[in-house]
Amino acid sequence: MSELKFKKSRYGTLSDGTKVHLFTISNGKMSFSATDFGCTITSILLPNKNGIPTDVLLGYSSLEGYINDHGSYGAAVGRFANRIAGASFQLNGKTYSLDKNDGENCLHGGFDRYEKKVWKAKKVRTKHGLGIEFSRLSPDGEQNFPGNAKIRIIYTLNESNELTLEYFLKTDKPTPVNLTNHAYFNLKGTDGGTIEDHLLQLNCSSYLKVDEHLIPVEKVNVENDSVFDFRTQKLIGKDIAATGLGYDHAFIIDGCDGSLKKAGVLIDEKDRRSMSIYTTCPAAQIYTGNFVEGTVGKNGRLYHNHESVCIETEDFPDAPNHSDFPCCIASPAKPYYQKTVYKFDF
């Protein structure tokens, strides 16, 4: 008999009177919660050695925190996640100018973020488990991207402790697309301190080297830059000082061909928790929370840099400006679809 359970509750109300809801899915061993505000995953609860649920996702204790957030904690980001250099791109002979919200570049879609929208939401059951389907229409010209884009994002949980994230987009015009979730993980818990003592293994033989503005400049084999070599398990903190601020780089997943591939695994040895990552995406952006210093998070706790790690499965950053990168253009004849699975062991 399935232990999967669904719960819907009131999460709060926006200043314009819009009601916001929280959805929780549990399987009797673990659970996750998500809100229709920003299609945001607000918590992932895993049992500790005494069976007490421990939240391994950084974020906020209330809706107000997410309303005022600038770090995309647990949120769905798009229409194009990560950076677009010069906040512009050309498509079919036309130049599109975007918001410059990251110096001279565009980050996570600009100022008009998906994470600040209230999405339609409903309970669903798929082959991947029980969960929530979020949807919205991103109109032609929103964030200055072309095309009316019908977006669906489905988060599901099954009895095998697999949290599956599916991204669907249909458009009436060619448009760049890169959707991901910006979850900040600490497998020790939200009060666990540094993630430099987490082990990380990535099935990635190369990564995208970036310039001082975090724009990719070239593909580099990790054999030639051991700081970025996670092909065997390595403490995140082992070489982090050599990166400067920390990791904020796209690692290219070996053998990526659109099918589900294992990208790697994150391990907390002390509490014996691990998270394996599988994805259809060509890359995983590893971000070690380098710009979160001073953020007041859950239970009023002050967050510090390197107390969380994001593993953002996605297309290559700045792909619209690189003809040699995997194509990121969706069209009426080519809808967008990507899937990521986080499998937890404890």
Residues that are catalytic: 182, 312
Amino acid letter, 44: I
Task: Give a three-class secondary structure readout of the chain.
Answer: CCCCEEEEEEEEECCCCCEEEEEEEECCCCEEEEECECCEEEEEEEECCCCCEEECECCCCCHHHHHHCCCCCCCEECCECCEEHHHEEEECCEEEECCCCECCEEECCCCCCHHHCECEEEEEEECCEEEEEEEEEECCCHHHCCCCEEEEEEEEECCCCEEEEEEEEEECCCEECECEECCCECCCCCCCCCCCCCEEEECCCEEEEECCCCCEEEEEEHHHCHHHCCCCCEECCCCHHHHCCCCEEEEECCCCCCCCEEEEEEEECCCCEEEEEEECCCEEEEECCCCCCCCECHHHCECCCCCCEEEEEECCCCHHHCCCCCCCEEECCECEEEEEEEEEEC
Give CA–CA dist 251/86, Å, rounded. Answer: 22
